[in-house]
A = this chain, B = another copy of it.
């Protein structure tokens, strides 16, 4: 009798953090079921990269979900320009309302169908650009919802929301990912979504600072 295979749904954007989550979940012995979203984002190149990361990890299935566009955000509305990094303490225009809530909700439905044990999401409350749905209190509240939302949960098969990066700086995330062999050459973090990363938006800036602080060279190309 073999042991039951542990399954994890991994929210995989094609960015550095979610790629690190794939590495961590694999290290912890999970069978990986990545889930990615195509939401008319500027950086839809990420979806193709996410697919390649899934292939790198030889996943049994990769769920790619097309979801609606809510507007009111530079990441989904092409009429709003993505600004350069400002370092200011305010919610950036790149904020997408309730995005992580939506992603986790889809992941929970998928986890129930798979009878998965965990959902991995690469949020960090350290380098989080001011998004409210990256904070530990949000994750805890969502865990409480997950514990009552599904038939499987009521039967005692609760799904654990795993946030291995929640207290890590970008530099610590990069060190962790590189130690576990995460394929960072297949990731991009740029909000502008060109063939090469811009190097100047919030996300590129956090990434480059992270590599610098970690003492590694970013393997992707910049403009």
Residues on A facing B (Cβ under 8 Å): 65-68, 70-72, 91, 95-102, 105-106, 108-110, 112-113, 132-133, 135, 137-138, 141-142, 144-145, 147-151, 153-154
- Asked, given contacts A141-B144, A141-B145, A144-B144, whether A108 binds B113 with beta carbons under 8 Å apart, the answer is no
Closest chain-B Cβ to A137's Cβ sits at a distance in Å of: 5
B153 touches A148 (CB 8 A): no
Return 11 A-B CB contacts under 8 Å, by A number: A66-B68, A67-B67, A70-B110, A96-B109, A97-B151, A98-B150, A101-B105, A101-B149, A132-B154, A138-B145, A141-B144
- Asked, given contacts A67-B68, A132-B148, whether A109 binds B101 with beta carbons under 8 Å apart, the answer is yes
- Asked, given contacts A132-B150, A148-B137, whether A71 binds B105 with beta carbons under 8 Å apart, the answer is no
Q: How many copies does the complex hold?
A: 2
Q: Chain B residues with Cβ under 8 A from A96's Cβ? A: 109
Chain A contact surface mostly = helix
CA distance A149 to B148 in the complex (A): 18
